[in-house]
Structure 1
Amino acid sequence: MHGFMAFTLIAAQELGIPIVMLFIIPACSLMATMQLRSLKGKGLTPLKVVDWIPSMRDIHLRDLPIYVRTTNPNDVIFKFAIDAVDSAPKASGVVILTFDALDQDVLDALSPMFPRIHAIGPLQLLLNYLPNDRLKLIGYNLWKEETECLHWLNTKAPNSWFM
């Protein structure tokens, strides 16, 4: 089930059905979402400085998911996200759309919270296993790829902010 549909976990538990939660957000977004209850408890809405999220150094407000940045502690989406991450440890497993090489530090920090956590990315590599060649033509995106930005990006120094 989708990670933000925590209500399905209750039904699965009542029926004795194992359930796996699939989060299609980056691991760092899941980690930030795991902090919502603490953010609310510490009165940090609106957020100013975030220097205590495990495995996520040098985080700015702009780096967190938009629902974390609310100025209203009673925001419906804010509460919805808290409920989802509070329920996630009860799932039989948690699947995150990321891969170890990208998010290893965050995955390591999440593993005590979710003992059965699995990274399943990058999904586009699964295209190599599609049996139908016609489907391979569209790749993992229906949009036409625009490569002009890559030329501009290559003119910038590595690890620089674009100012």
Structure 2
Amino acid sequence: MRFGIKAAEDLGIPEVQFWTASACSFIGYLHYRELIRRGIFPFKNDDYLTDGTLDKPVDWICGMSNVKFRDLPSFLRTTDPNDIMFDFMGEEAQSCLKASSIIFNAFDEFETEALEAVISKFNFPNIYTIGPLQLLARHIVSKSQVNSLNSSLWKPDSKVFEWLDQRAPNSVVYVNYGSVTTMTDHHFREFAWGLANSRQQFLWIVRPDVVQGGESARIFDTLWMEFYDGNYLCWCACHLLAFLC
């Protein structure tokens, strides 16, 4: 992140950036400024969600062929010219080019086009690929202290896996908003009732802060009492899970 580069400059030492997402996402963020220059961002109104705009091809991004607007990092999907995540991610990607090297969570054969674009178009030859990181976990010694490290601050509840094991294959709807998505109270309730009215078993991951204002847990508890009997709530891998029994 940018503060690391500034600290390295002040200390007079080399600084290496680690981009944990894909190289394609990095290319997409690097072109956020171009979206502004071309007048594409911000969208004028919410019609872009339904009028086919997101399905228009984008043929001017080096390193990403055969893509549409919907394939670009989704923070561009807003009508707010001051959207904080659009600005933040675009500038974070640009700042990486000031580092001495960049490490990507990718491997050359999988993202050749994007990696070559970073080298050629952005004149940044010092890139290294070490991914996918998930495969590196198998090299950790079983009794190593590294096994105690976890990116989650919540205590997992493994009962969710017991519940899933009792369900038939392809019978559970899985819903996950990711780590940064937020929504209004109204949209949260609409989503909840949509799941409830589907009459399908579902596994729904709800962060405590997914509702703007941090009221997810309170609203969810209220709604759940209206849905069905025999429900269950638990914490698992940093997320609130709810599923129909």
Please give the range of the TM-score, normalised by the shorter of the 2 chains. 0.7 to 0.9
1:15 equivalent in alignment to 2:23: no
Q: TM-score w.r.t. structure 2 length?
A: 0.50
Tell me how far apart the structure 2 counterparts of residues 71 and 25 of structure 1 sit (CA, whole Å). Answer: 25
Query: Secondary structure at 1:115's aligned position in 2?
Result: coil
Tell me how far apart the structure 1 counterparts of residues 142 and 14 of structure 2 sit (CA, whole Å). Answer: 32
Query: Secondary structure at 1:101's aligned position in 2?
Result: coil
Contact 1:25 1:96 in 2 (8 A): yes
> CA deviation digits over 1:107-154, x for unaligned, max 9?
111113222111111223323422216999xxxxx98699x46xxxxx
State the 1:21 CA deviation.
0.8
Q: Structure 2: any 5+ residue segments left out of the alignment?
A: 148-155, 171-245
Tell me how far apart the structure 1 counterparts of residues 86 and 64 of structure 2 sit (CA, whole Å). Answer: 20
Tell me how far apart the structure 2 counterparts of residues 77 and 125 of structure 1 sit (CA, whole Å). Answer: 29
**Residue 70 of structure 2 corresponds to which residue in structure 1?**
62
Q: How does 1:31-50 map to 2 (within 5 A)?
A: 31-45=27-41, 46=43, 48=53, 49=56, 50=58
Query: Secondary structure at 2:62's aligned position in 1?
Result: coil
Higher RCO (CA < 8 A, seq sep 6+): 1
Q: Are residues 10 and 128 of structure 1, via their aligned partners in 2, closer, same or farther at CA, if it must alter by over 3 Å?
A: same
Bigger radius of gyration: 2
Q: TM-score w.r.t. structure 1 length?
A: 0.73
> CA deviation digits over 1:46-84, x for unaligned, max 9?
384422111212212221111133322321111112221
Q: Which amino acid aligns with 1:71?
A: T
1:76 equivalent in alignment to 2:76: no
Contact 1:67 1:77 in 2 (8 A): yes
Tell me how far apart the structure 1 counterparts of residues 68 and 32 of structure 2 sit (CA, whole Å). Answer: 15
* Cα RMSD (Å): 2.7
Tell me how far apart the structure 2 counterparts of residues 130 and 69 of structure 1 sit (CA, whole Å). Answer: 39
1:125 equivalent in alignment to 2:135: yes
**Residue 236 of structure 2 corresponds to which residue in structure 1?**
none
Tell me how far apart the structure 2 counterparts of residues 128 and 81 of structure 1 sit (CA, whole Å). Answer: 31
Tell me how far apart the structure 2 counterparts of residues 96 and 80 of structure 1 sit (CA, whole Å). Answer: 19
1:92 equivalent in alignment to 2:100: yes
Tell me how far apart the structure 2 counterparts of residues 86 and 27 of structure 1 sit (CA, whole Å). Answer: 13
Q: Structure 1: any 5+ residue segments left out of the alignment?
A: 137-141, 150-163
Tell me how far apart the structure 2 counterparts of residues 85 and 24 of structure 1 sit (CA, whole Å). Answer: 12
Q: Which amino acid aligns with 2:72?
A: L
1:53 equivalent in alignment to 2:49: no
Identity between Structure 1 and Structure 2 (%): 36
